Amino acid sequence: MADNSADERKLPNYKLRFLILLILTVICIFVSFAVGRFSLDISTAAALICVKIVSMFDPHVVLAQNYADYSVLFNIRLPRIIAALLVGAALSVAGAAYQGMFQNPLVSPDILGASAGAGFGAAVAILMGLGSTDIMIFAFLFGLAAVGGAYGVSLLSKGPSTLSMVLAGILVSSLFSAGLSYIKLVADTTNELPAITYWLMGSLASMTWMHVLYVLPIILIGLIPLFLLKWRINILTLGEDEARSLGVNTGLLRLAVIVCATLLTAAAVSITGVIGWVGLVIPHFARMAFGCDYRRLIPVSVVMGACFLLAVDDCARTMATIEVPIGILTAFLGAPIFAYLLITGGRH
């Protein structure tokens, strides 16, 4: 009994760690209200939000005495903050789900070509002179098409299913990357090529409520099934034979994970452009702090990914006179962090 009590005392307090993570995320959200080209106090932002909530129930309440502060908060800052939270959560959970399914910690959300397909779709829309809404739709649909093509090729392959999917993802990514290169070659160098290049860098600068309302239901459709299946993903990490011996339909489960992770990745990339490293690095941090149990890993990845991308976006808005594309910052931060993880923890 004494030994069991000692072992229980040695277990980390995961609830306390998760609470601290939630508090850090809330602090990051309030700091984000005040960060930007236009000055806005945190207290002013909190007061405006409270008044806005009260005004929903009492229309006679005056929303704001200073329309400039109100406009900056509700038309610029708040949509951008919500979009950063959604995209960070989506990419992080997609990466964690893929890493469990493929049993490989080096897997990222674009392993099956979702980002390459989305980039090609956005480039096609820009080349056709379409608007921002059409660019989002094209990016999302081509991202789904890329993963669908990779999955179809893997089904036709006679090799191991996991290896076939990885190789099919490389194949599809290469094809869409070649198509993107051709579009950049024939694009107008004055308007179209800079627009394509900037989109591929990834940015949250132009987020509006339209982007949030567009991506929110898709991300929820991808997140909810992964929450419900998180204990089955634990079984899937044991291997194909072990999962089948426990009565799990591995083919159906893999398909469900691929569909959900693809929806998350394609939806995120369609509104922000290509943002790398989030889905690769954040699941590693989640495992270091909360273990490998997917019953904890999925919720933690949601919060940690959202907090990380929001913090990086705050840096993108403040570190230079012009806004730095967030995809560049995630690469600058993600690559050294991942190198550190490989050097210090690769032996495990």
In tens, the pLDDT along 262-271 reads: 999 999 999 9
Domains (ranges, CATH) in the chain? 38-338 (1.10.3470.10)
Query: pLDDT tens across 109-136, in order?
Result: 999 999 999 999 999 999 999 998 999 9
Residues 267, 273: Cα–Cα separation, whole Å: 10
Check whether 215 has a pLDDT greater than 60: yes
Asked if 19 and 291 count as a contact pair (C-beta separation under 8 A), the reply is no
| Residue 23 clears pLDDT 90, i.e. is over it | yes
Neighbours of 217 (CB within 10 A): 10
Tell whether the model's pLDDT for residue 8 goes beyond 60.
no
Q: What is the pLDDT of residue 176?
A: 97
Helices in the chain by DSSP H: which ranges?
2-10, 14-34, 42-57, 67-71, 78-102, 114-127, 132-156, 161-186, 192-201, 209-228, 230-236, 240-245, 250-272, 278-290, 294-318, 326-345
Query: How much of the chain exceeds pLDDT 90, in percent?
Result: 56
Distance of CA 65 to the CA centre of its chain: 36
Of 2-16, 101-115, 177-191, give the lowest mean pLDDT range: 2-16
The pLDDT assigned to 342 comes to 74
Determine the Cα angle at 311 with ends 310 and 317, to 5°.
90
Which DSSP letter does residue 325 get?
P
Longest dimension (CA), the chain: 75
Handedness of CA 128, 130, 133, 134 (dihedral sign): negative
Burial 140-165 (b: 16+ CB within 10 A, else e): bebbbbbbbbbbebbeeeeeeebebb
What is each CA distance from 154 to 105, 166, 175, in whole angstroms?
21, 8, 16
Q: Are 90 and 272 in contact (CB under 8 A)?
A: no
Nearest C-alpha neighbor of 306 from the set 96, 86, 95: 86
Residues 6+ apart with CB under 8 A from 110: 116, 173, 265, 274, 276, 279
Pull the structure tokens for residue 196.
Answer: 């394509």
Using pLDDT thresholds of 50, 70 and 90, give the confidence band for residue 21. very high
pTM of the model: 0.91
The residue ranking higher by pLDDT, 122 or 8, is 122
pLDDT band for 250, please (50, 70, 90 cuts). confident
64 pLDDT higher than 80: no
How sure is the predictor about 236, in pLDDT bands with cuts at 50, 70 and 90? confident
Mapped onto helix, strand or coil, the DSSP state of residue 107 is coil
